[in-house]
């Protein structure tokens, strides 16, 4: 995992700060759009804020630091309280991953304005003493990663719910019946990523596309 590949304290601090920003905006986007769709739940729970303390799930962060995978935050939304339960819920769920793509674009623009291309793509040693460069590079990459990961159509990831909302009622009912099976697939993919010699399936569907988006946004795609 990226976090464990570089023990430099400045890198680790930049990683955690970038992740906190990414997760906070992701969860806020869910809640804000849900509220705009008519669901008062986010307001009742105090989630209409960019304060990380309102969104971060600390037990998940501890697990994340230990094994590299964990739910880092939750958005409590009730589609039955929305004006249009199907499409309101779809937009509220989709807002999370697409807010990460938006953040990746914003941080990439800032990075390209502040730093030269040669420095943006220099090796780790070239940026080791520049906290802003470390933060921007990590922010772009991690937001690309969260965008791709949350599009996976596997429960309980956002992508599963987006597919559920997009399907017509009869197919949505069938898709709902596959909820547990898709969750097993997710756990299997995560488990197999730790097995030496096994094909890195998560890399094929998440990390490789996220890396390509990262390079494109940073100017060399």
Catalytic residues: 27
Helices 169-177 and 158-166: crossing angle, nearest 10°?
150
Task: Determine contact, residues 61/72, Cβ cutoff 8 Å.
Answer: yes
Query: How many Cβ atoms sit within 10 Å of the Cβ of residue 31?
Result: 26
């Amino acid at each position: 995992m990226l976090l464990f590949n570089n023990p430099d304290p400045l890198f680790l601090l930049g990683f955690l700060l970038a992740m906190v920003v990414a997760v906070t905006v992701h969860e806020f986007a869910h809640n804000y759009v849900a509220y705009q769709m008519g669901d008062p739940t986010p307001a009742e729970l105090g989630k209409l804020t960019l304060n990380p303390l309102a969104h971060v799930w600390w037990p998940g962060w501890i697990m994340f630091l230990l094994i590299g995978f964990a739910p880092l935050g939750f958005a409590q939304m009730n589609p039955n309280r929305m004006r249009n339960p199907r499409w309101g819920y779809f937009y509220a769920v989709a807002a999370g991953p697409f807010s990460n793509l938006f953040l990746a674009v914003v941080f990439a623009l800032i990075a390209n304005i502040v730093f030269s291309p040669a420095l943006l793509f220099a090796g780790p040693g070239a940026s080791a003493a520049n906290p802003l460069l470390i933060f921007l590079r990590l922010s772009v990459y991690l937001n690309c990663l969260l965008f791709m990961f949350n599009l996976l159509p596997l429960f309980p990831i956002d992508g599963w719910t987006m597919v559920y909302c997009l399907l017509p009622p009869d197919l949505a009912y069938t898709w709902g019946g596959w909820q547990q099976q898709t969750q097993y697939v997710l756990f299997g993919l995560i488990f197999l990523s730790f097995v030496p010699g096994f094909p890195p399936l998560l890399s094929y569907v998440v990390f490789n596309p996220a890396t390509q988006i990262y390079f494109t946004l940073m100017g060399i795609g």
